Each structure stands twice: as structure tokens, then as C-alpha cells.
Amino acid sequence: MDLTESAEPQDAPAVGPDPGRGSGGNGGLLRDLRTGLPAAAVLTDPQVTASYAGDMASFCEAGTPAVVVLPRTVEEVRHVLRTATAHRVPVVPQGARTGLSGAANAVDGCIVLSLVRMDRILEISPVDRIAVVEPGVVNAALSRAVAAHGLAYPPDPSSWEQCTIGGNIGTASGGLCCVKYGVTAEYVLGLDVVLADGRLLRTGRRTAKGVAGYDLTRLFVSSEGTLGVVVGAVLALRPAPAPQLALAAEFPSAAAACAAVCAVMEAGHTPSLLELMDRTTVRAVNRLGKMGLPETTEALLLAAFDTPDAPAGLAAVGELCTAAGATRVVPAEDPAESELLLQARRMALTALETLRPATMIDDVCVPRSRLGDMLDGTTAIAERHGLTVGVCAHAGDGNTHPVVCFDPADPEETARARASFDEIMALGLALGGTITGEHGVGVLKKEWLARELGPVGLEAQRAVKAAFDPLGILNPGKLF
């Protein structure tokens, strides 16, 4: 580790305000926080702090913060962590709170550390093909900034207009283009991380290659704020691709659409996008956005290419879709029409949220070869529980997002929703998959993480957590 200071001796783990410090209770904590932060950066109004209690996940408990802090500098973050360690107070890092697993949910008496004001793009280097950013930079803002240099930052979650790079790193977010370009973890070259005791750790590199020592950068990616607070990142960029050309293929069943996905991948094609929406999702998108998608289809597959020979690629994929049973294949006429199709896919989760008062959004990823089994099994689970479950998927990766729609005011329906959510995760594991492809574990799936990892894997991960956060103050209650 490249640590800038030596660690102070640590006491035995004990999370919670230390009555022997400061002036007692939150008063001492607030006083000490204010010694290193501007007054406007420390929020204590209960109505305001309550608005920072959680992210967008359902079925996840959220506590009451003691205070919300909004630093602008690395030194201010270090001060917050030093103060938290001195008072033995938990710290919950947050970005835009667009997450879907409860990873940003507060615990009682915690410091909520919101990083949204650390939103500067510090450097864009076309030669080195990197960007250096603070954690509060919005994904779409970075994409637009690098586009001005003829570059692209490929990870593009559906919430890209709101979500921040720090949050993307915390959960290793994916996006619509991950079938070709990969996920966030593949674009994080180096990090600046403030550890639990306030020391600053620099990991990774800004060079194209580098294999010195353990890969601590990858360790922090997807750690959900449980090992340290990311305050800076060196991100890899790519040359901007050509505008995408897309097609939409209608299928009489989800199984037929999944067979087409397998055929496309087996044939060696590398589309820039390969997405699936079931009938429930298509109808919801039409109702919300008046998109004019075909509501008679049981599954709609979207494929796109961003290469100079995109028309040829689409033609080949169209033939494979027809062979797999597509009833209609419609290529977009130009990039503008293609973008409309992508907008329809981006609004899928939002559209499904309009069907019932609440949703639980699953995030199960299975081998591509088992994608059809996953969708058929999800349909059976929905029918068994008498629920509406819409599915959209990053089909090229086998990453499905079954969305369980329910009314939280109805206890019996809520219980069925929770049961179906768990059964979908169990199905994913039975098919050789994982409980999360990009949304993270947070509070929502920590019991399922234990099942996926097994006792030895869980013990190893807890040991890593203890090494970086011996007092257990960083985002407690998440992951494990």
C-alpha cells in the first residue's frame, strides 16, 4: 500500500459514539466535524438528513443519520474519517443514491458522507486515453466531456444521467454496451481512497500496463464503500465509436429470443448492444413514453453495431433472429431512429415502476447458454405467485433484471413479492449464475451473498474487511 501516514494504534472494534470523547453524544461529534469543514457542509436539520436515509431499493431498512456532510476536497473527507474513527461513529458513503440494493442506506447515528459536491473532471488526456475524476462526477457528464476529445467512456448504466462515477465504482456498474465494451471494473486504472482512519491510499496506475503488487484497485471496485472512500479515479478511455445502427426483432416467446442471442454469440458477432425486453416491459414502455413498440410480441430483442460495416452486421444478426423464430425483424433506418430504440430500453425500469406502487428489481446474471431457462423459470415463478414480473435484460451478458411489481400496502401481496424475489435469485444460482451482475449486494442480498460465496469465501472476504476497517465503521451492515 502507498499510505501517506502511519496508522495510529487501534482499539478493539466498537462502533458507536464514544461517550468519553468531545462534549458527549452528537454534540462532540458535530463540534469536531465542524473544525475541519465549512458550516454549509454539515447538515443537521432532521428533515434534511432524513432525505439522505437511503437509495432506491425496496425491502431495505434504513436508519436515521446523526449528520450529513458534503465535503468538496480530499482533505475534508480525511477529516471526516479521522473524526469518525475518534468517536467510533459509522460512516455511510453516498453518491447520487440511484442504487438498487440498499448499499447507500444510513444506519442509526451514522455520518452520511455524501460525495456529490466532489464533481470535478480533473484531467482528460487524449494521448494517454485517461480521465482523472472526482467521485461525484455524473456518468453522462463525463461521457459528454470526453466526447469533445473524440473519446468515449463506455460504461453506461440506465441511470447514467443521474448516477455518479463513485457509485459506479462502488457497485461495478455495467450498462447497455457491456456486451462489447465490458463493465466499470475494466476501466478503473487507479484510485485515491481515504481509509477508515483518514489515511490516503493510492492504488493502481495511469499507464496502459502495470502489474506491480496486488491489484488493490480491483479490490475496491464493487466494495460498496465498506473498505474505504473513493475520492479520485483514473479511468481508461477509448476512441469514440461510430454512431450505432440498431434493429428490433419480435419473437413469439422469450425462449426463441434467447435462442437468437445464443446463435449471435456462437457465430462470433460482437454487437455493441444486445438487449431484451419481454411483453410486460414493452407495454409499460409504450404507456410511459409513447414509443410505438410492438405490443403483440412476447419478447423484443434489440441489437446494434457501432462499426463501419454495421449494416452487414445487422443483416447477419437479422438472419439469425429469423432462423431462431423471429416473426419480424426491423432495422433502424439511421442513427437517430436507432437512438430512439436505445431510449426505449433505457426507460424500461422506470416504466415497470409505473405498473404497481412499488417494485423489487432483481439483478441475476446467468451463463448465456442458460438465459432461456432463466426467463422461463421467472415466468413460472410470477405465475405461481400471481404477480406481475417484467423482465429486461442485458441479454448479451446473460444479465437479467426481473422486476417484481407489487403493492406494499397489501401485506399478503408484499410477502408474495418477497418470496418471488428470493426464488428468482435461487433459480439464478441453480443455473450456475450469480445474485448480482451490476447492482451490488448492499442490504438487499447479503444473505444470498453468503449462499453464493460459501463459508470459506465469506470468511476470506470478512478478513479483508477487517484488515482495512478494523473498527467496522465503514458502511456497516452491507455485504455481510
All domains in the chain, ordered by first residue? 2-116+464-468 (3.30.43.10), 121-239 (3.30.465.10), 245-430 (3.40.462.10)
Q: Crossing angle, helix 254-266 and helix 371-385, to 10 degrees?
A: 160
DSSP H helices in 396-445: 411-430
d(CA 17, CA 24): 8
d(CA 48, CA 8): 34
131 DSSP β-pair partners? 124, 235
d(CA 173, CA 180): 15
- Buried b / exposed e over 306-325, threshold 16 CB at 10 Å, is bbeebeebbebbbebbeebe
Distance, C-alpha 73 to centroid of its chain: 24
Residue-level pLDDT at 25:
60
Q: Are 228 and 273 in contact (CB under 8 A)?
A: no
Q: Crossing angle, helix 279-289 and helix 335-346, to 10 degrees?
A: 110
Q: Are 150 and 129 in contact (CB under 8 A)?
A: no
Residue-level pLDDT at 16:
55
Q: The whole model's pTM is what?
A: 0.92
Q: Are 369 and 403 in contact (CB under 8 A)?
A: no
d(CA 325, CA 13): 60
Question: Which secondary-structure segment (H or E) carries 383?
Answer: helix 371-385
Q: Are 38 and 85 in contact (CB under 8 A)?
A: no
278 DSSP β-pair partners? 299
d(CA 285, CA 288): 5
d(CA 65, CA 30): 12
Only one residue has cell 478493539, namely 12
d(CA 230, CA 170): 8
d(CA 480, CA 478): 6
Q: Are 445 and 411 in contact (CB under 8 A)?
A: no
Residues 6+ apart with CB under 8 A from 259: 324, 325, 372
C-alpha cell at 188: 478503473
Distance, C-alpha 285 to centroid of its chain: 22
Question: Which secondary-structure segment (H or E) carries 358?
Answer: strand 358-361
Residue-level pLDDT at 15:
58
292, with CB counted inside 10 A (0-12, 13-18, 19+), is exposed
121 DSSP β-pair partners? 133
d(CA 315, CA 271): 12
Nearest Cα to Cα of residue 265 among 312, 185, 321, 310: 321
First-to-final CA distance of the chain: 25
CA pseudo-torsion sign 338, 266, 324, 429: negative
Strand arrangement, sheet containing 91-94: 42-43, 67-69, 111-114, 91-94
> In this predicted model, what pLDDT tens digit does every residue of 153-206 receive, in sequence order?
999 998 999 999 999 999 999 989 999 999 999 999 999 999 999 999 999 999
C-alpha cell at 4: 501517506
Residues 6+ apart with CB under 8 A from 323: 260, 263
Q: Which residues of the chain have pLDDT under 70?
A: 1-25
d(CA 336, CA 244): 9
Nearest Cα to Cα of residue 168 among 180, 155, 179, 178: 155
| Phi, psi of 431, rounded to the nearest 5 degrees | -90, 10
Q: Are 240 and 267 in contact (CB under 8 A)?
A: no
